[in-house]
Structure 1
Amino acid sequence: MNRENLKTRDEQIKKVESYRWVVWTILAAVYIFVTFHRMSAGVVKNDLQQAFSIGAAQFANIGSMYFYAYFIMQIPSGILADKLGPKRTVSMFSILAAIGSVVFGLAPNIGVAYVGRFLVGIGVSVVFICLIKIQSRWFYSRNFALMIGFAGLAANLGAILAQTPLVIAAQKFGWRNTFVFMGLAMVVFAALTMIFVKDDPKDMGLPGMDELENRPAVSANIKVMPALKSIITNKRTWVISLAYIGLYTGYVVFLGTFGVSFLMQAYSLTKVKAANYVISAVIGSSVSGLIIGYLSDRFKNRKIPLVLSTTLTLIGWIILIYTRMPLSLLTPFLFVFGFVMTGFTMCWTVGNEVNDRRLSGMATGVVNCVGFLGAAVIPVVMGNILDKYKNVPAVGYEKAYFVLIILMAVSTAASFFSAETRGKNIYQEK
């Protein structure tokens, strides 16, 4: 290759390495909306119970409608990401999520509220998998875990918005107006996605990651059923999914469903103060994704971070539910708790590395499917227990969270049997 061609090649690589951040930032911004809606129900729990005259179980169903939809859509989301491409998939479904948010905000009764939350869940269900797909097509494979950490940072920005800022917005503008506004804002980002996002550098006439990393080109001609069969029959997929379910379900329950109300009851806190303590866990989670991802990539190790995360999270749950620490220790404890529970980001990485790399969307979808099943079912089970013990809420929370602790113990055991990939794709076709 002569000097002129080398210069052109270098310029193309620089364009890839700069424009990829435009693509990633837009989808990461959309992902903020995803986690805002995921975590928002717990903070406006009292408002929703008052507006619709419902108990803890029906409230949990409002949250779970999102997760039922998300669960249903995980494998289809992977297929859409792999076949249709992230740009068109996110653009179309973001409009559906926006409609759902507006419907939820204007809901005259609990039935319409369920429909709104379900539409939101369907609409946002595609975003994370499309973000992972974009990262696999625009970023070097050596930075995969780190980029998942950055995705986690975007997620936690949404979770932060769904804590104290949501409390303040709901008090000032009303919870209904807040959700209507979030729906309208999402329309703007759907438009930005359609205009600026590209599925692959090759769509701009630039060299793709396959070429830059000297690896075989990925074909878009993927046969869906054989692809799903290869993922579902892979034992390593199920092991990492079991490790994921306890970590992720706990993350959702504490940050999005019963965390604020539990702290209010256990420590006699106001809603704003309880939400501020939950933000400590969110900040720990934000830092965790970046640090764990960086260290995992740096030392080419996936299993040790995952085992440590599941084990320490299990211990953390037992301490949080069955002890009462001084308030001065609650903030640092919750920061560390949020940090260790976010080891579930390793599960997405390993799920991709133990399956055919062409199927990153579907592999992530299958792993997510298991986690979101837990996030849909467990809060409803917990809500029924809380309703049963509504006259003795302290006992109710202990019994409700015991269900989650059992699930977390299963995930901890599974993490010890997870595959160590050393930061490489170890899938071998039979």
Structure 2
Amino acid sequence: MKFMKELTKAEKIKKVESYRWIVWSILAIMYIFVTFHRMAPGVVKNDLQEAFNVGVAQFANIGSMYFYAYFIMQIPSGILADKLGPKKTVFIFSLLAAVGSVAFGMAPNISVAYISRFAVGIGVSVIFICLIKIQSRWFYSRNFALMIGFVGLAANLGAVIAQTPLVIAVSHFGWRSTFVYMGVAMLLFAILALIFVKDDPKDVGLPGMDELENRPQVSVDINVIDALKSVIGNKRTWVISLPYIGLYTGYVILFGTYGISFIMQAYGISKIAAANYIIFAIVGSAVSGLVIGYLSDKFKNRKIPLILCSLITLLGWILFIIFKVPQSLLAPFLFVFGFVMTGFTMCWTVGNEVNDRNLSGVATGVVNCIGFLGAAVVPVVMGKIIDANKALPEVGYRKAFMVLIVIVCVGALASFFTKETRGENIYKG
């Protein structure tokens, strides 16, 4: 502490700008685990159905248990991030995620599988919001959308691992051992977070972003009820959540629930070949987060990128499901599809900028909560439709995906009514 006091302000700023990457990187790597667990069931779909002797709808419930837990925890996660702090929150809940992953790998029946997946969902539910909170405390406001793009890159690394690499790992170790190993790895990173993550530069005697940007001091003395009333009572929160439901539900279904099985069914190809196609969409998504974030920050515009991404995503689903893209064009199509679908990252940014800066955790939690409800419910509805059309699986898939297309259409319409923030916090109280 004494050493820090002896540094000049310029030297302290330099230390903030270097140490922040250690803090951010640990949480970003942990977010890779979050998206791995989110997307993995789609790859091991047949293995899970065989292991637990269940149909498509019950398989969808295994995946949805994660999203039910995530949905339940989004608002509490925001409160914990704002009051308890990201460091303690991530450490405590990551331990639960690690135990849940190990338990899932050892599950003797479907009931234990449901419970352990729910535990994983509860455990990892806090990481994203804590990462956003860390960014708001360690990074400049002018780079917020770009940093959201980097979060998207971390997310897509997890999604990539949950595709072909997971297929290969399962073929070598089995799906059970793979999930046990992921649980152990999660435990190791939880310990790293406890040791190295700091909630704010001021925790290590460095100047905070409020001081460096000459912005109002953020208070940690937050009244939970008042915070929820503020965010939930803000109509702009709800408007930005509708495009998020459409874009993100589609993202989850393509990358983690039915994307691989639909491609296998529609094009008559193997699981590895289908997973390789999905990777093109994931790469497009990874590029998108950085490009959209950079351009949005540069031109100070949030609304136009969101509208364009929403409309093109709607068109993409129509082409993909109803008209069936030729296989020769499937790879470039999925790259573009993944790119525009990831416009949902704008929803996180806008959700923060239309709400009180003090409530960044709660605001992100509420937007996520609304969006994850769609990701939890829609796959189960689709699974029931697919099960009801077992005799004609291709017809079943197309009917099921029509449910998603309607939701994406509603989100695209809502994007026109979002508030343009020009890259600034516009909350007036």
- TM-score, structure 1 length as denominator? 0.98
- Give the deviation of 1:219 after TM superposition: 1.1
Question: CA offsets per residue over residues 36-90 of structure 1, 9 Å max, x none?
Answer: 0000000000000000000000000000000000000000000000000000000
User: Does residue 282 of the first structure (1) align with residue 275 of the second (2)?
Assistant: no
Separation (CA, whole Å) in 2 of partners of 1:355 and 1:288: 25
What's 1:210 paired with?
210
Separation (CA, whole Å) in 2 of partners of 1:390 and 1:147: 44
Task: Write out aligned runs for 1:166-177 (5 A).
Answer: 166-177=166-177
Separation (CA, whole Å) in 2 of partners of 1:390 and 1:291: 41
Separation (CA, whole Å) in 1 of partners of 2:327 and 2:251: 21
Separation (CA, whole Å) in 2 of partners of 1:390 and 1:251: 25
What's 1:363 paired with?
363
Separation (CA, whole Å) in 1 of partners of 2:378 and 2:7: 57
Question: CA offsets per residue over residues 216-274 of structure 1, 9 Å max, x none?
Answer: 11111011101110101101000000111010000000100000000000000100000
- Give the deviation of 1:375 after TM superposition: 0.2
Question: CA offsets per residue over residues 329-358 of structure 1, 9 Å max, x none?
Answer: 100000000000000000000000000011
Separation (CA, whole Å) in 2 of partners of 1:327 and 1:64: 30
What's 1:267 paired with?
267
Task: Write out aligned runs for 1:97-136 (5 A).
Answer: 97-136=97-136
Question: CA offsets per residue over residues 118-170 of structure 1, 9 Å max, x none?
Answer: 00000000000000000000000000000000000000000000000000000
- Give the deviation of 1:326 after TM superposition: 2.6
Task: Write out aligned runs for 1:26-175 (5 A).
Answer: 26-175=26-175
- Give the deviation of 1:392 after TM superposition: 0.3
Among all aligned residue pairs of Structure 1 and Structure 2, give the percentage whose two residues are the same amino acid. 74
What letter matches 1:44 in structure 2? V
What letter matches 1:292 in structure 2? I
Separation (CA, whole Å) in 1 of partners of 2:326 and 2:385: 27
Separation (CA, whole Å) in 2 of partners of 1:339 and 1:41: 22
- Give the deviation of 1:6 after TM superposition: 11
Aligned pair count reads 425
What's 1:407 paired with?
407
Separation (CA, whole Å) in 1 of partners of 2:381 and 2:58: 11
What letter matches 2:166 in structure 1? L
Task: Write out aligned runs for 1:319-334 (5 A).
Answer: 319-334=319-334
Separation (CA, whole Å) in 2 of partners of 1:402 and 1:50: 27
Separation (CA, whole Å) in 2 of partners of 1:125 and 1:233: 23
What's 2:392 paired with?
392
What letter matches 1:136 in structure 2? S
Question: CA offsets per residue over residues 279-321 of structure 1, 9 Å max, x none?
Answer: 0000000000000000000000000000000000000000000
What letter matches 2:371 in structure 1? G
* Between 420-429 and 324-333, the greater mean CA deviation after superposition: 324-333
SS where residue 294 of structure 2 aligns?
A: helix
Separation (CA, whole Å) in 2 of partners of 1:404 and 1:271: 23
Separation (CA, whole Å) in 1 of partners of 2:209 and 2:309: 31
SS where residue 386 of structure 1 aligns?
A: helix
Separation (CA, whole Å) in 1 of partners of 2:253 and 2:204: 42
What letter matches 1:276 in structure 2? N
Separation (CA, whole Å) in 1 of partners of 2:392 and 2:74: 38
Separation (CA, whole Å) in 1 of partners of 2:220 and 2:192: 24
- Give the deviation of 1:391 after TM superposition: 1.0
SS where residue 420 of structure 1 aligns?
A: coil
What's 2:348 paired with?
348
Separation (CA, whole Å) in 2 of partners of 1:115 and 1:228: 29
- Give the deviation of 1:7 after TM superposition: 7.0
Separation (CA, whole Å) in 1 of partners of 2:92 and 2:325: 47
Structure 1 residues without counterparts, runs of 5 or longer = none
SS where residue 414 of structure 1 aligns?
A: helix
What's 1:223 paired with?
223
What letter matches 2:202 in structure 1? K
What letter matches 2:385 in structure 1? I
- Give the deviation of 1:325 after TM superposition: 2.8
Separation (CA, whole Å) in 2 of partners of 1:123 and 1:19: 26
Separation (CA, whole Å) in 1 of partners of 2:215 and 2:182: 41
- Give the deviation of 1:403 after TM superposition: 0.1
Separation (CA, whole Å) in 2 of partners of 1:214 and 1:348: 24
- Give the deviation of 1:323 after TM superposition: 1.8
- Give the deviation of 1:428 after TM superposition: 0.6
- Give the deviation of 1:117 after TM superposition: 0.2
